[in-house]
Structure 1
Amino acid sequence: MSTHTDHQKGLLMTAIGGLTLTIDIPLIRLADGTPWTIMMLRTGTTLLAGLVIWAIWRSLDRNAPKLIPGWSGLAVAFCYGLTGITFVTAVYHTSTADLVFILAFNTVFAAALSWLFLKERPRLATVIAMLAMILGVLIIVGGSVGTGHLFGDFMALCSAFFVALAITISRASGKDMGFTGLVGVILPLALAAFMVSGEGFHVNAPWWIILNGAVIMPISFFCLANGPKYISGPEVAMFYLLETVFAPIWVWLIFAEAPTRNSLIGGTILIATLVAHSLWQLHEGRKRRAALAVVHPA
């Protein structure tokens, strides 16, 4: 398979994962339960669905991807496990707009980690984009001071970092991590089950969170976790922009939750920066392919 075809496959896969992920937060909110109960149902059904899919795949093809491919797979699973904890915590401690806007910051983390560990030095345009996104996040977090959302914003920032770290490790290993993110939910599942055993089971509409865990999360986790095998870490991270754009719209339509002024300003900076940088990357990619076509004509 050619490198160009691999790149297209990676783009399509991560686009499907990003689009599917946009309804994650609305489904969590619709379930109307306590954080630990929601986390337990979400991760439990995700793990069950992932194991069933893997078992069927394995029975049909002995070359099916491993659940956890070595130590790098274990590290990726751990990162996604931490993401599951910090993400659900953030859903209950900050606004949806703040959460998804800050999650878009994983692009900056991905670029920085790729620079430090993969020696993929960012170009000047990427550095400028990173600085603009830092400004956007600072505006959002600054608006949360005194509102009770600061802890939730911090949890969202932790989620962005852990996702970027998982992407970087996946890309460095070059291994198939499609099921690793699904297995990683064991960590938040164990923690949530322990907490629920003490406080009790509380959820008013469990079918929404079961749909989320059994269908939405396996699709998005598989696609986004497998993306780094074909495209760069920053490119994978940018597909989380789809959730940044659409999740607040779904929440506004369903729950009439409007973002704050600071959230809109900071979010606009983040989205505009990501769109501009993505267009620049697309333009540069076309230039490189054109140059290669001239140097190595068919």
Structure 2
Amino acid sequence: MPDVHSQHRTGIALVVVAAIAWSTAPFFTRLLHLDSWTILFWRGLFGGTFIALFLVVAQGGRGAKNLMRLGRGGALVACFSAVAMLAFIPALQLTSTANVAIVIAAQPFITAAIAWLWLREAPSAATMLASLIAFAGIAITVSGALAAADLRAIGLAVLVMLAFAVMTVAMRRHKDTPMVAAAAFANVIGAAVSVPFADNLLAVSATDIGTLAMFGLCQVALGLTCFSLGVRLLPSGRATLIATLETPLMPFWVWLAFSELPSGRALAGGAIVMTAVIADIIGNDRGLRTG
């Protein structure tokens, strides 16, 4: 039991780091005045390179071999991860972050449902209650924002949410597959798909290259690597619930960099989301201690 308890704590820490990393996406997107496909190409190229380097440095020859033996499970994860990445940046550019967030906030519910159908992994009642509370908090944050929403952006956000949910459950299903290597290949797929559609692939400044490199390192490589490692140690629904910490953190980085104060709704909704996630972590932690 102590081993299970320690694994859960490690999984929580990794997913929290992933959520913080992912929350920087609007910040980097705001800095770049490029078309979506150009951003996706360079971000994928840098993200995939950094993840591959991490594997080789951390695992040596074994890491290099993992890049060559994904198998069916790894290919499945890589493909769904690539779909989520390809849809996310255009969604952010077509409408407000709030509109995208309200759709993606449904991930814990969808992930839990897929995990139950595919793995018979039933989420705890506490996690489902916390997911509902977190969703209510995000609904408060974006209340009134959907009236003028761009339908294409909402459709892309739904695609992000569904692809990410399937990817998460696939990671749990294929635990023996090198998922960090799969994350590297997801970026390669995303970069390759972007090439025919990019308008300014080579017309990027040195400043843009630096920003894109940091985008790939901080938001993609760090986020996907930590999530790929952490999701193995947590139930799928709980992992995606913790990952919703990304949503209230998104406006924080924009405020920090661009002095844009979040609305009262955003502050209230963000507080509810963080309270729900923290309560779930504490509640399940106590359950593991007494179980």
Give the partner amino acid of 1:62: R
Give 1:280 deviation, angstroms. 4.2
* SS of residue in 1 equivalent to 2:180: coil
Aligned to 1:296: none
Query: What is the TM-score normalised by the length of structure 2?
Result: 0.82
Does structure 1 retain, via aligned residues, the 8 Å contact 2:99–2:149?
Answer: no
Aligned to 2:103: 102
Aligned to 1:286: 286
Q: How has the CA–CA distance of structure 1 residues 82 and 208 changed in structure 2, closer, same or farther, with 3 Å as cutoff?
A: same
Give 1:42 deviation, angstroms. 0.5
* SS of residue in 2 equivalent to 1:178: helix
Q: Which runs of 5+ in 1 are unaligned?
A: 293-298
Give the partner amino acid of 2:146: S
Answer yes or no: is 1:219 the counterpart of 2:222.
yes
Counterpart among 168, 176, 180 of residue 182 in structure 2? 180
Answer yes or no: is 1:246 the counterpart of 2:249.
yes
Please give the alpha-carbon distance, in whole angstroms, between the structure 1 residues aligned to 2:131 and 2:16: 22
- Aligned counterparts, 1:115-134, within 5 A: 115-127=116-128
Q: Which runs of 5+ in 2 are unaligned?
A: none
Q: How has the CA–CA distance of structure 1 residues 72 and 274 changed in structure 2, closer, same or farther, with 3 Å as cutoff?
A: farther
Kindly name which structure, 1 or 2, has the bigger radius of gyration based on alpha carbons.
1
Give the partner amino acid of 1:241: T
Root-mean-square deviation (CA, aligned residues, Å) is 3.1
Give the partner amino acid of 2:116: W
- Percent pairwise identity: 21
Aligned to 2:62: 62
Please give the alpha-carbon distance, in whole angstroms, between the structure 2 residues aligned to 1:157 and 1:125: 25
Does structure 2 retain, via aligned residues, the 8 Å contact 1:105–1:137?
Answer: no
Please give the alpha-carbon distance, in whole angstroms, between the structure 2 residues aligned to 1:45 and 1:164: 24
Does structure 1 retain, via aligned residues, the 8 Å contact 2:248–2:270?
Answer: no
Give 1:77 deviation, angstroms. 0.4
Please give the alpha-carbon distance, in whole angstroms, between the structure 2 residues aligned to 1:130 and 1:8: 19
- Aligned counterparts, 1:87-98, within 5 A: 87-98=88-99
Does structure 2 retain, via aligned residues, the 8 Å contact 1:108–1:133?
Answer: no
Does structure 2 retain, via aligned residues, the 8 Å contact 1:81–1:188?
Answer: yes
Please give the alpha-carbon distance, in whole angstroms, between the structure 2 residues aligned to 1:5 and 1:129: 22
Does structure 1 retain, via aligned residues, the 8 Å contact 2:55–2:63?
Answer: no
Aligned to 1:82: 83
Give 1:273 deviation, angstroms. 5.8
Aligned to 2:53: 52
Give 1:243 deviation, angstroms. 1.7
Question: Structure 1 residues 187-196 or 116-125, which shifts more?
Answer: 116-125
Please give the alpha-carbon distance, in whole angstroms, between the structure 1 residues aligned to 2:287 and 2:149: 48
**1:182-214 Cα shifts (integer Å, max 9, x gaps):** 211222211211112x66545464121221113
Count of paired positions = 285
